[in-house]
């Protein structure tokens, strides 16, 4: 675990997620537009604007709101069913390459 990941984990546990500076609109991208903006903002804030898998910041990067229970299986677009991940991590989760993902609640 990197120092950045440890710091983010500690901040999450303390509930001290500071809001990051907003990136210019041209650099902001969030994939998964079926999720309302208010829910998307709640999920990003809850996850401290970082990927829950690798801990990297999603500020100014393309990020994915990943459904724990997929929409096609009746998963709702609620904060409890969504996590913030980077596209590479979302691909890994969807492919099922890491058996620990299910244990962690990502799938």
pLDDT in tens, 56-87: 998 888 878 988 888 888 889 999 999 999 99
Within 13 Å of residue 92, how many CA atoms lie on the same side as its CB? 15
Rounded Cα gap, residues 85 and 23, in angstroms:
17
Query: For residue range 4-47, what is the model confidence (pLDDT) as tens digits?
Result: 666 666 666 665 555 554 444 433 444 445 788 899 999 999 99
Dump pLDDT digits (tens) for 48-57.
999 988 889 9
Look at the pTM and tell me if it is higher than 0.85: no
Predicted confidence at residue 15, as pLDDT, reads: 59
């Amino acid at each position: 675990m990197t120092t950045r990941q440890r710091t983010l984990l500690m901040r999450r546990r303390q509930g001290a997620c500071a809001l990051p500076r907003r990136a210019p609109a041209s650099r902001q991208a969030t994939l998964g537009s079926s999720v309302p903006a208010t829910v998307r903002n709640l999920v990003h804030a809850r996850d401290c604007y970082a990927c829950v898998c690798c801990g990297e910041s999603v500020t100014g990067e393309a990020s994915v709101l990943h459904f724990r229970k997929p929409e096609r299986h009746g998963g709702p677009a609620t904060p409890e069913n969504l996590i913030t991940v980077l596209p590479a991590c979302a691909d890994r989760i969807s492919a099922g390459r890491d058996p620990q993902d299910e244990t962690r609640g990502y799938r």
